[in-house]
Each structure stands twice: as C-alpha cells, then as structure tokens.
Copies of this chain bind each other. A is one copy, B any other.
Amino acid sequence: MTQTSDIGEARVRVRYAETDQMGVVYHSNYVIWFEVGRVELLRQLGFTYKEMEKQDHCHIAVVDLKVRFKAPALYDDELIIRTRLKNVRSAMLHFGYEVIRESDGTLLAEGETTHIVVGNDLQRKKLPEKYLVPFKKAVVT
C-alpha cells in the first residue's frame, strides 16, 4: 500500500530571476525544481542527499530527463513539487514529478528523471543497502 509519505512535497515560490521576457517562468527552471523535489523526497524518507554524497560517496547523476509543460508558472506563484520514486534498481533511480500551482491546483508540468549512481570518480557503483531497501519500499507506480 502506498503511503502519502512516499510522495515528497516540496514548496517553492517563483523568483523574479526565474521569469523571462515572455512574462512566464523560463522552462529550464522546472529542471531545478525537480532537483528540489527529489531532495525533499529523500529527506522525507529519512535521508539527506548531502550525506549520501559526503558519507557514502554516492552521487546520482542524471542520464535522462523528460518534461511536459502544461501551463506556465508565473512570478510569485507558490508551487508544490510532488516527487515519487517510480523505479529503483541497484544502480539506477527513476523519479517522477508533478509541479502544481498551489492557489488553484493547476498541474503546470510533469516529468521524469533517470539517474545512475556514481562514486566520487564518476564511475557507476551500486547503492548501499541502507538506501536500496527503503527506496524500493518507497516506489509508487
């Protein structure tokens, strides 16, 4: 059974710096918000990505990115980034994202990222068990 806590909820407010001259958010910023969402999901699961890197020398390098933009985010909008693990293998993590405008619940964008686990040398490695087991449990299909 999927628990609510398996879907990360991060909040960001759109910064002026993130807008462009079309008067909406420039699209690369969603990719950064996905990162914010990913990190908050990990925190909700009891881990910090900072410690994954520092203590366990595990970095999750993005190998694939997909975004579908549905409606523009606007300056000062409060956004919710809902993030879930879609698939977990020993050296691969697959995340899914939804970016929602809080005021009216509009789905602004959805996306996916695939990551491989790499060490400090940027070579592939397996995720330690302490991460792998809870991550697999947290998968929301």
Q: Which of B20, B27, B32 contacts A65 (CB 8 A)?
A: B27
A28 within 8 A of B: yes
Known contacts A62-B69, A66-B65; is A16 also within 8 Å of B24 by CB? no
Known A21-B22, A22-B122, A63-B69; further 14 A-B contacts with Cβ < 8 A: A15-B36, A16-B20, A17-B26, A17-B28, A17-B32, A17-B35, A21-B23, A27-B31, A28-B28, A48-B76, A61-B72, A65-B65, A65-B66, A66-B66
| Closest B residue by C-beta to A43 | B76
User: Which A20-63 residues have a C-beta within 8 angstroms of B?
Assistant: 20-24, 26-29, 31-32, 35-36, 39, 48-50, 53, 59, 61-63
- CB-CB under 8 A from A35, the residues of chain B are 15-17, 28
A19 in contact (CB, < 8 A): yes
Interface residues of A (CB under 8 A from B): 13, 15-17, 19-24, 26-29, 31-32, 35-36, 39, 48-50, 53, 59, 61-69, 72, 75-76, 122
Residues on B with C-beta less than 8 A from A61 are 22, 69, 72
Most chain B CB neighbours (cut-off 10 Å) among A16, A31, A39: A16
Q: Are B19 and A20 in contact (CB under 8 A)?
A: yes
Highest count of chain B CB atoms <10 Å: which of A26, A64, A72, A76: A26
